[in-house]
Amino acid sequence: LGLSGPPGAGKSTFIECFGKMLTERGHKVSVLAVDPSSSTSGGSLLGDKTRMTELSRDMNAYIRPSPTRGTLGGVTRTTNEVILLCEGGGYNVVLVETVGVGQSEFAVADMVDMFILLLPPAGGDELQGIKRGIIEMADLVAINKADGDLIVPARRIQAEYVSAMKLLRKRSKVWRPKV
């Protein structure tokens, strides 16, 4: 599964909860967390693993943070090969967390079985902020943090995305993207 979304959407938190659920059900889970590299120093914080403390201690989970090192598309130059290595190593679920969201951070969509766009419910003009290219590639749009005071905004953005998705050309004859 490939996951992308704007900063603050809760990608790492979602992956930790989902990953723990999967390992509790007997799956071996690999998480490939891609972080942006600095154009100045070339360095990367690689902080996503620190936000997945429980999953990082799970013996049936493997978390590998990786810097982009200038690669565009939200993944690294070798993400596809690392996915294959994880599968070969016995991990039956591989979760790829991309750098974030924009016009071109969906290269992972061609590497995975399902591409999920994770969105927060109250980020301003959501449809304008997320570019059409990534929406067209999404197999699933998940509105995260949809509880408490955010239930009403979450339902509103869900309705907006359901309407927007109807205007897009279908990528598959058998799957219609869900929101």
Q: What are the structural domains of the chain? A: 2-167 (3.40.50.300)
Among 68-77, 84-93, 118-127, 153-162, the range with the most confident prediction by mean pLDDT is: 84-93
DSSP code, position 105: T
Quote the tokens at residue 108. Answer: 């992972």
Quote the tokens at residue 150. Answer: 């955010």
Element (H, E) at 62: strand 61-67
Share of the chain above pLDDT 70, in %: 79
DSSP code, position 110: G
**What mean pLDDT is reported for the chain?**
83
Quote the tokens at residue 32. Answer: 């490939």
pLDDT digits (tens, 9 = 90+) for 19-70: 999 999 999 999 998 876 655 555 545 556 677 899 999 999 999 988 776 6
pTM: 0.85
How far is the CA of 128 from the CAs of 11, 58, 125, in angstroms?
A: 20, 39, 6
Report which of residues 122 and 120 the model is more confident about: 120
